[in-house]
Each structure stands twice: as structure tokens, then as C-alpha cells.
Copies of this chain bind each other. A is one copy, B any other.
């Protein structure tokens, strides 16, 4: 596999620096001390193209042996950036993976097409909102879900801050929200999905999935930078009936290119990835957001496309602009702006969001 790093360096030092990273990310010991010729030729990282980006930054490609990854998502991060992430002046910019790693990880099991089928939403973008604020009881979150679902959304997800807290334990919350959404869906005729946020380790999450499954939930959210990418990988393999949306929390900024993280989440099985849209509460540019959308949707071996989910301070007013930018193969997520509506108007304002997405002219 080829890892691309953006490195701050002077021109004189960049080759040596690149060689140091190639060793750090492969054998992590002095080459002179390696006696096995096969390790020197097959395992030690190899410096490829070095490009001067100006302003003291260089792009460096390093070829790393895919055999060092084995079949574990965490180990892929470890070999691509692990110890080098401890240097302040290096950003992991890109990873080009050989076909065998794509086969091993397998990507989304449902992807954009599967999420569309669940939402019965052909030919348009998908819609989503979020349950907030935390501190609400399970019952209150259930009432909120009901109002949002009455607006006809495709997906209603937990705030990523909702975990397994005393004021709203996971099991209670899932029962309350899934039940409320089912009830609303029976009225609206829309197959609205409640999407609970998973937390803890693989064993705990497996139990959460059981609870969710009992409530008819088939789409869940996970934060791989906290739960661990191996956890995502393992869940996707063990519970392929669920579709997985990823949340970007704790994925940092400026150290791993955001689009790369999203691409890896897709590789490991994410069906959709939430990310901060440009012009919202976070500083991502529209170029970065375009790259993130590509990371989920662009053809990539035999992997399914996933759905990009721009979010973070979005409004109903911005729907047409967002649809112009992302097109129909996206899920729009509006949380706080909808929740700011007086409760008695929440369903109606949600319905206005849903309508704006449904009635947009995607061919224009």
C-alpha cells in the first residue's frame, strides 16, 4: 500500500526524514540490525515520490507492505500512521490500498443503495435529524422522536453524546424512541428509522445491538475514532443485518486528512458517514467536503458506495444549496435548527425539511 504524508521540513532534510518515516512505519529498528534479506526487501517501507508543496511542506509517498496489516482495521491505522502520528509536523494525507485489502475489509454491506431501499427514497437525497439535548429522559427523547417522525424524516439519530447515562439508559432510550418512531410511521406511512448511537467496547455494543434488534432497529451509529476501527470492522462482520453510520467525533483535525478517515470508515464497512458540512459550526472547506463526499461515493474496487451525511449547524434554508453541492446521493442531517422550533411546530417544520428535499429539482 502507498501512504502519502504531508511533512514540514527543509529541502535538504526531506529525503532523510522520509526514510526515517519509512523505517518507523515498518520495522521500527535500525536497518543495519536486520539480518533477514526478505525483511529488508519485502517489509521495510520504501520512499517513493517526494513533491515540494512550497512553504516548507512536502508530500512524500511511502510504500508499506500490506502483509504487515494482516486483516485488522486497527492494524491498518497502526502501520499507516501509528508512531508517526506522534510527530507534530506530519499529516497522513492519503492511502492507496491493494485489492487484497479491499477484499479483506469489504466495505459497506448495505451502502447508499441499501439505505435508500430502507427509506424507500429513490431519486432524491435522504433526510435525517438528531435527538438532543442530552440530559433529557428516555421518555422525553421518545416524545421528541415522535414529533420528528411525524414530519416524515427517513432517519432520526441519537446525538453522539447520548450513551448509557443514568438520565437516559441505552435500553430505555432505544425502547422509547424506537417505539415512538414506529407509532409515528404507522400514521405517516413513511418507513422512518430510529438510529441509536452505540458506545463502549465490542462486547457491550453486541448487547446494544440485541436490544436494538428486538425493537426492529436496523440502522445504528458508531464513532470509530472512539470505539476503535476494529470494533466497527468486527460489528459489520458479526452483525451484517445492521447498516452503520459513522460519527466523526475524536477523529481530530489536521493530523489525518478528514476524507481519508471517511474513506477508511467506508472500507471497514460504514454505510454512511456523518461529517461537518462547510459553512456550519466547523472549519471544513467546501473542497474538503467535496473530497469527503467522494470518499464515500466514488467507485472503489468492488466496494459499495456509502452515503455522505453533511451536518453540523445546517438549516432548512440551506437545503437547495446543499443539494446543488451534494446531489441526490447524500443524506442531509439537520439537528439543532429543527429542534429550535416550538414543540407544537416541530413536526410541521420537519415536514418542510422533508418536502424541500423531496421536491428539489435534482435534474436542474
Contact = CB atoms under 8 A, between A and B. Distances in A.
B161 A200 contact: no
A359 interface: no
Contacts of A203: 202-203, 206, 234, 238
Contact of A87 (B28, B78, B226, B282): B282
Interface in A76-103: 77-79, 81-83, 85-88
A276 B44 CA distance: 21
Nearest to A35: B343
A38 interface: yes
A152 to B, nearest CB: 21
Question: Which of A33, A35, A36, A69 has the most chain B CB within a 10 Å cutoff?
Answer: A33
A87 B163 contact: no
A164 interface: yes
Contacts of A88: 253-254, 283
19 contacts: A28-B133, A28-B159, A29-B339, A30-B337, A38-B135, A39-B136, A42-B135, A43-B134, A68-B163, A69-B163, A72-B199, A81-B250, A86-B284, A201-B231, A204-B230, A204-B234, A226-B228, A226-B230, A228-B228
Interface of A: 20, 24, 26-30, 32-36, 38-39, 42-44, 65, 67-72, 74-75, 77-79, 81-83, 85-88, 132-136, 140, 159-161, 163-167, 199-204, 206, 223, 226-231, 233-235, 238, 248-255, 258, 276, 281-284, 335-337, 339-341, 343
